[in-house]
Amino acid sequence: MQQDRLSDWLVKHDLVHRSLGFDCRGIETLQIKTEDWDSIAVISYVYGYNYLRSQCAYDVAPSGFLASVYHLTRIQYGIAKPEEVCIKVFAPRNNPRIPSVFWIWRSADFQERESYDMLGISYDNHPRLKRILMPESWIGWPLRKDYITPNFYEIQDAH
Amino acid sequence: MATTATFLAPTGFCIHGWSAKRKVGRGRRPCSIKSQQQQQQLEQERDQQPTQSQASIPPPQQQQPLQEKARVQQQQQPSAQPMAKSKNMSREYGGQWLSCCTRHVRIYAAYIDPVTHAFDQTQMDKLTLILDPSDEFVWTPGACQQVYAYFQELVDHYEGAPLSEYTLRLIGSDLEHYIRKLLYDGEIKYNMNARVLNFSMGHPRVKFNSSQIQNV
């Protein structure tokens, strides 16, 4: 079982975060505020998490927040069970802007584009933030909980 | 050769937001759109002034009603352009065009000449509708006119929307729903001599009309 290592370390260095406990696989989960996320991303890279395993996003509640989730691990030679941490950044629905971590971990490139495409979270400083799954001229954010699919004939009715 | 009916509708779409590479433009005349496209070197020759002349190629027998109808249409709207040429179809323009294509409805944001099939993409202020190119239904002139009128109504309704594939798909979907309503009301019927007979809008049913289903 992982200890609350990163959490303790952050507390020791007096950085604001909130621990969300452990998830089912024993990975500690932290919540970071949007304005702190820039610095804490760099700090976790420096701490040793050199691999962004995945970045995903989800819609918390119909008129609530949009969450952007980062799974970080440390890839190292010879370690069987690397340390992992999961960080969630909650963005307000009316202006969902989160600093991009593209410049720290390259794998965030397409994944942040997908979160932008599906939920509308715009990532500041992402070099090419545009739609990646939907056609470019699509209007609306498909995976939001309040999205209504337009009544396209070919989606619903064509045989 | 498919027997197609084409229909041109002038549109008030603004082309703001169509592509990041082109400047924002709002123009109904083709030459103003040309001057705003920075990335393409377009020829400066313009089409001749449209005349009312008819096509000289005699169409085959079964195509005649539809071709004449298309010509009749053009006399009511932006008139025929016999000197139109295919423009902007080549590789340096990406070979792309704004379109929405489903089985019965094809909408292009270009001028397509009904006789020569020249595809002029620079005239983006027009939308061309090609109705049922695979001939799944038997079209009477009255039904065609209804579809064209509905198309014109839809274009007027969507006026002011950005000219993008999304909007064209909304228009195309509304037209398909309308065609399905015509089918259920009995104004058109399936063409039993069609090359592919798969009843794409539902199997034929007895004593059925559009009031019996919810979503029409």
- Listed as own residue / partner, the contacts of A73-81 with beta carbons closer than 8 Å and 24 or more positions apart are A73/A49, A74/A48, A74/A49, A74/A50, A75/A50, A75/A51
Determine the pLDDT at residue B27.
27
> Does the structure show a pLDDT above 90 at B25?
no
Whether residues A153 and B176 touch (CB distance < 8 A) is answered with: yes
| A141, A148, A149, A152: best to mutate for the B interface, most B CBs within 10 A | A152
Give the dihedral sign, CA A41/A43/A49/A50: positive
In which residue are the tokens 């001939």 written? Answer: B135
**For the segment A85-122, what is each residue's pLDDT rounded down to a tens digit?**
888 999 999 999 999 999 999 999 999 999 999 999 99
Whether residues A138 and B177 touch (CB distance < 8 A) is answered with: no
Determine the pLDDT at residue B51.
29
What value of ipTM does the predicted structure carry? Answer: 0.72
Where along chain A do its domains lie? 6-155
The answer, for B21 touching chain A at a CB cutoff of 8 Å, is: no
Residue A155: pLDDT band (50, 70, 90) is low
Q: Average pLDDT over chain A, rounded to whole?
A: 84
Distance from CA of B170 to the nearest CA of A (A): 6
pTM above 0.80, yes or no: no
> Does the structure show a pLDDT above 60 at B67?
no
Domain A6-155 has CATH 3.40.50.720: no
Q: How many CB pairs under 8 A join A and B?
A: 35
Q: In this structure, what token pair is assigned to residue B79?
A: 């008139």
**For the segment A1-52, what is each residue's pLDDT rounded down to a tens digit?**
345 566 666 666 666 666 677 777 778 888 888 888 888 888 888 888 889 9
Contact call for residues B210 and B216 (beta carbons, < 8 A): yes
